[in-house]
Amino acid sequence: MSGRIVVLGAAGRLGYAAAQAFRDAGWSVVSFVRPGAGPRAPRGTAVVQSQERAAVADAARGADIILHAFNTPFTQWQRLALQHTYAVIDAAEATGATIMFPGNLYNYGARMPALIDETTPMQPTTRKGQLRVAIEQRLREASERGVRVIILRAGDFYGAGRGSWFDLVIAKQLAQGRITYPGPLDVAHEWAYVPDVAAALVRLAASRAMFPAFETFGFPGHAVTGRELAAAVAKATGRGYRVGRMSWWLARTVGQLLPLGRELAEIAYLWRVPHRISGDKLEAAIGEVPHTPFETAIAAALRGLG
């Protein structure tokens, strides 16, 4: 099954990968990007460059799907995240398109259980978690007015570009023979290989008519410890590394002066609390879940970083 999809944020990491995946699956893809970002959108897609709220609805005319993949910087979440969501909801209500949204784990807070599924209570303990819950609540309210909404919840992204913990922290000093890990090395952390997430979005879009008006799915990526991640990097590159811990005290100190440090310090618990996502519901909906073997995905991610 194919149709027309508008990918909001198609020059970003997930947006770009999703636009490519839908294009390759035979969909007509509109890449909606910021002014000046058109050259970074995938080839073979129709590019719209704008930051105007009304332009989202214009781009969505005749669309079957709107993928809300706007990549709002951490320091601008409070100001822009809900505004972007309202623009998406307005467009979906005007056009009848289904909204797809990539959820994350901030909703569950520092008391999250070791296994997270679609029934896990949301108990955010940070401002970003509270904002994520508010976004999903606005989407649920839209579904009660007749908009179809599909949320795919995943862990930390890696692969298919830059801008994640993997390249900004963990692999940043590989050339110097060092891996820097943000938490204890024996705690499981949920990762999501971006090409796999994009492939799952395509499968969910094709099955959307079978779902209720508001539906959520967990994406089971790679729940691995820091030691397992470091070993995969070493195997992919054929060399050993010194593995050190990230200095969270510095992020907290900087957070007293700079917004980014404060935003990062808020989510330190994600590296101390072991967790993974159940994919049982997703598998029941789409069959075999896209899943690149961990060592293969790590090697591909490192090649992508040069």
pLDDT tens string 204-241: 999 999 999 999 999 999 999 999 999 999 999 999 99
Among candidate residues 39, 132, 120, 152, the one with its CA nearest the CA of residue 85: 132
Cα dihedral 108→117→150→13 (10° resolution): 70
| pLDDT score recorded for residue 262 | 63
CA distance 227 to 136: 34
How confident is the model over 183-195, as pLDDT tens digits?
999 999 999 999 9
Domain ranges across the chain: 4-155+194-220+275-287
Q: What is the DSSP track for 24-75? A: HTT-EEEEEE-TT-GGGSPTTSEEEE---HHHHHHHTTT-SEEEE-----GG
Task: Tell me if the pTM is above 0.75.
Answer: yes
Say yes or no: domain 4-155+194-220+275-287 is CATH 3.40.50.720.
yes
Tokens 């007749």 — which residue?
146
| Least-confidence region, from 104-108, 109-113, 212-216, 257-261 | 257-261
| pLDDT score recorded for residue 221 | 97
State mean pLDDT over 157-180: 92
Would you state the structure tokens that stand for residue 280, as one six-digit string?
Answer: 């049982």
| pLDDT score recorded for residue 258 | 46
CA distance 121 to 101: 19
Measure CA of the first residue to CA of the last residue in the chain; give whole Å. Answer: 36
Q: In what helix (H) or strand (E) does residue 139 lie, and over which residues does it extend?
A: helix 127-144
CA distance 79 to 275: 29
Residue type, 31: S
